[in-house]
Chain A
Amino acid sequence: EAQVTQNPRYLITVTGKKLTVTCSQNMNHEYMSWYRQDPGLGLRQIYYSMNVEVTDKGDVPEGYKVSRKEKRNFPLILESPSPNQTSLYFCASTLRGGGSNEQFFGPGTRLTVL
């Protein structure tokens, strides 16, 4: 089944404790992206990647890191989480140049930073 997966789905952590949220897709998509969703603010892009080893900042990159060592994986790293990073996070992927720009979203990761 074609899908985007994220882990963990729920995470409660404390300020300053490094964490990684994994994202994987099995559709051979070149483009992958991370968003955070907050009430009243919609979906805001954190980082995106056009292909392996190519990443770029989105609208709200501060406090986050990403890497793209393999086409299928795009982990989101919070080196020193803070309470203002409490949010719902979505990973998404798209096939570039395939005639469709549909972004396929993962199930989401709800992060709480105490």
Chain B
Amino acid sequence: EVQLVESGGVVVQPGGSLRLSCAASGFAFDDYGMHWLRQVPGKGLEWVSLITWDGGNIYYATSVRGRFTISRDNNKKSLYLQMNSLRDEDTAFYYCAKEKMGSSSSWFLDFWGRGTLVTVSS
């Protein structure tokens, strides 16, 4: 059974830093790209970042580029998100998700974690 478990969400002051973790199990972690997404409570989904299976390619949403850093440790089957210079608008549930390629070379997210809440507040 595929499981993704996020941790690290806390209350942090504006300008602060935080590191989220996602522990994966039940699949060959080092075969798949992994994502972070976020959701402001009561709002829609926002894609945040992607790291390919080997960490060779990394992508960020414009809203977090230069402040957030995604990384992974395939030996530990873990995904990370280092969040710096946090702003009020970064307050959200953060989800990690596993990607899969569809039949038309289109990508989707076939498993998600339950999320961890990051609150940026003074």
* Physical interaction between A and B: no
Chain B contact residues, CB within 8 Å of chain A: none
